[in-house]
């Protein structure tokens, strides 16, 4: 198969939502229908149920939430589908925002009972800023929830999306009987407690057909006819071009935990979702059909395999063909690197790949060379734009509880900080270490992983800072005076960051063995 054919086979998307909307459950069922797994796992597993594939970290299994993005790939209808399941909790939003730079489209999951929630609004706003194509999936239809039209109004008002339903529920909660797919012109019946191993589809091209009453009853059939008539008159006709431009969002209804409505969503997705899209760099736009390879690192995961203490850099291929055992330019360091065992992902399971194409996410084993945002190319100097970085807003002293584990403690902190969701600072006056994060739950994750992955128990002490910011000045005299003034006040304390980014013209440049002053307020 040629390069063009491989490029057109790729569909890379992320799944986003507020916590507990059913994002990971939907991911699990997409993998099931795609044939990537044989049994769908549960978010909160027990001895009987298999745990969710994407929640592979122990702390995720215990708490029933996603704390890091998982990457999964599978084949479906001759296409290569790449799913990125993101954390929903706002304390892990930094990871989610970065992941959104590596996808070409998103599926937004909304709880039918709770409607549009706060974190969903924030994430969709980022997608709208980038004109990312969005599909909306209304989940948990087997529970009592909001009226379908009320949900659509809420999506339009709170998320700022222009919507077009492509499926519509027949009843809701206890009266839920199935959905009518306007995309396929078929009625899909819901069978409670059957887990919908095989969907019962009835082709009904004309809703006025008496066949409809036989399956859902007279009252439900009449309601469905009236509601579909309203949809056809009020909402715009579906246009794939408008969807690809981020101007129109198709809406589907279903119940992920019951496997219901998921296949219809997946079938429509593979038909309309975009193939790999261009990426913007500081130098020029990069198009996926270019001959030469380029890509960027959007995530780093430390200690993915505790037996080997490996660290994986997640690289999104943007153009050309990535090939194993080929020299590529690490743009920030300005040196050639060769990768002997690049991998593809199924959550924590990795398979060595010989080549990858635009849209694919490749895992590169990393010994400390990569930072989030790094570019890898076939020789051209490119700096990809849009990868966010957030200033920490919560700070705590971190202490090693066992002095005999100092090596493991330092190694664990170093590797976890390289993931980019927390920053480590060292205070000048006493060399005490301070961890800064965006969200408070990150402290619990770091503490758990330090103990269970690195064998180094740690605890925290409060510290009275609320913001960290870079301070720099070209005037040495003014800089010295500002330092003296800062040291004289109790509100600002100058510290040296243990590993730092130095601002160079037009980009960030990394310098080893250098520090830059960071002020805390």
The three-point CA angle 283-284-287 to 5° equals: 140
Q: 238 pLDDT exceeds 90?
A: yes
d(CA 444, CA 149) in angstroms, rounded, equals 40
Given this model, what pLDDT does residue 284 score? Answer: 93
Given this model, what pLDDT does residue 235 score? Answer: 94
Given this model, what pLDDT does residue 189 score? Answer: 84
Span 202-211, pLDDT tens digits: 777 777 878 7
356 or 495, higher pLDDT: 356
Span 311-321, pLDDT tens digits: 889 999 999 99
In this structure, are residues 314 and 71 in contact, taking their beta carbons and an 8 Å threshold?
A: yes
Give all domains of the chain, ordered by start, each with its CATH number: 3-169+236-272 (3.40.50.300), 279-377 (3.40.50.300), 394-520 (3.30.70.3280)
Span 141-154, pLDDT tens digits: 888 888 889 999 99
Q: How many CB atoms lie within 10 A of CB 475?
A: 9
DSSP string, 402-451: -GGGHHHHHHHHHHHHTTSSEEEEE-TTT--EEEEESSTHHHHHHHHHHH
Q: 345 pLDDT exceeds 60?
A: yes
What percentage of the chain carries pLDDT values higher than 70?
81
What number is the average pLDDT over the span 233-251?
Answer: 94
Per DSSP, which regions of 476-515 are E strands? 493-497, 501-504, 507-510
Span 7-52, pLDDT tens digits: 999 999 999 988 888 888 898 888 888 776 645 444 444 444 444 5
d(CA 202, CA 224) in angstroms, rounded, equals 15
Given this model, what pLDDT does residue 500 score? Answer: 34
């Amino acid at each position: 198969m040629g390069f063009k054919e491989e490029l057109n086979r790729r569909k890379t998307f992320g799944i986003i939502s507020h916590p507990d909307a059913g994002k990971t459950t939907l991911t699990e069922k997409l993998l099931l229908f795609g044939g990537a797994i044989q049994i769908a796992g549960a978010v909160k597993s027990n001895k009987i149920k298999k745990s969710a594939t994407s929640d592979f970290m122990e702390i995720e299994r215990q708490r029933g939430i996603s704390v890091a993005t998982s990457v999964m790939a599978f084949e479906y209808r001759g296409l290569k589908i790449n799913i990125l399941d993101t954390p929903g909790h706002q304390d892990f939003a930094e990871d989610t925002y970065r992941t959104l730079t590596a996808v070409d489209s998103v599926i937004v999951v909304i709880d039918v009972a709770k409607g549009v929630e706060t974190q969903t609004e924030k994430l969709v706003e980022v997608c709208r800023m980038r004109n990312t194509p969005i599909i909306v999936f209304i989940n948990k239809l087997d529970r009592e929830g909001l009226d379908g039209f009320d949900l659509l109004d809420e999506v339009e008002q709170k998320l700022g999306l222009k919507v077009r339903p492509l499926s519509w529920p027949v009843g809701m909660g206890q009266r839920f009987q199935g959905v009518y797919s306007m995309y396929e012109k078929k009625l899909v019946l819901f069978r409670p407690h059957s887990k919908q191993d095989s969907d019962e589809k009835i082709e009904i091209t004309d809703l006025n057909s008496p066949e409809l009453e036989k399956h859902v009853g007279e009252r439900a059939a009449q309601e469905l006819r009236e509601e579909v008539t309203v949809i056809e008159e009020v909402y715009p006709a579906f246009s794939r071009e408008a969807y690809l431009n981020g101007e129109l969002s198709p809406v589907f209804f279903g119940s992920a935990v019951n496997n219901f409505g998921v296949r219809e969503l997946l079938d429509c997705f593979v038909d309309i979702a975009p193939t790999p899209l261009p990426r913007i760099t500081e130098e020029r736009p990069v198009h996926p059909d270019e001959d030469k390879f380029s890509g960027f690192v959007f995530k780093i995961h430390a200690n993915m395999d505790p037996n080997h203490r490996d660290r994986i850099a997640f690289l999104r291929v943007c153009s050309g063909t990535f090939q194993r055992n080929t020299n590529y330019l690490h743009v920030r360091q300005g040196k050639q690197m060769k990768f002997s065992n690049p991998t593809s992902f199924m959550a924590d399971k990795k398979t060595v790949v010989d080549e990858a194409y635009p849209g694919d996410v490749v895992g590169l084993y990393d010994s400390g060379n990569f930072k989030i945002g790094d570019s890898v190319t076939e020789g051209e100097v490119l700096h990809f734009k849009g990868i966010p970085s957030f200033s920490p807003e919560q700070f705590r002293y971190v202490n090693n509880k066992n002095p005999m584990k100092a090596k493991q403690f330092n190694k664990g902190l170093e590797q976890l900080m390289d993931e980019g969701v927390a920053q480590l600072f060292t205070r000048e006056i006493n060399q005490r270490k301070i961890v800064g994060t965006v969200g408070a739950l990150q402290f619990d994750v770091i503490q758990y992983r330090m103990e269970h992955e690195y064998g180094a128990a740690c605890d925290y002490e409060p510290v009275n800072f609320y913001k960290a910011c870079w301070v720099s000045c070209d005037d040495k005299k003014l800089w010295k005076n500002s330092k003296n003034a800062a040291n004289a006040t109790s509100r600002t304390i100058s510290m040296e960051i243990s590993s730092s980014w130095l601002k160079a013209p037009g980009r960030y440049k990394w310098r080893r063995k250098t520090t830059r002053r960071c002020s805390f307020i």
